[in-house]
Amino acid sequence: MGGNNGVEIQIYATGIFDAVLNDLCSSVAVELGQPKERISVEMVGRGLEHFSRSLLRGESTDVVTYLVEHHKMLGLIKQERKGHREKVTYYQEIWVSTA
Residue 14: count other Cβ atoms within 10 Å of its Cβ.
Answer: 10
Average pLDDT, the chain: 90
For residue range 50-81, list pLDDT tens digits in order: 999 999 999 999 999 999 999 999 999 998 87
CA–CA gap between residue 24 and residue 28 (Å, rounded):
6
**pLDDT of 85 over the 80 cut:** no
- The percent of residues above 90 in pLDDT, for the chain, comes to 72
Every domain of the chain and the residues it spans: 3-98
Instruction: State phi, psi for 6 to the nearest 5 degrees.
Output: -65, -40
Three-state SS for 77? strand
Identify how many contiguous H helices and E strands the chain contains and give both numbers: 5, 0
For residue range 37-53, list pLDDT tens digits in order: 999 999 999 999 999 99
Task: For residue 7, give every residue at least 6 positions away whose Cβ sits within 8 Å of its Cβ, in sequence order, or none.
Answer: none
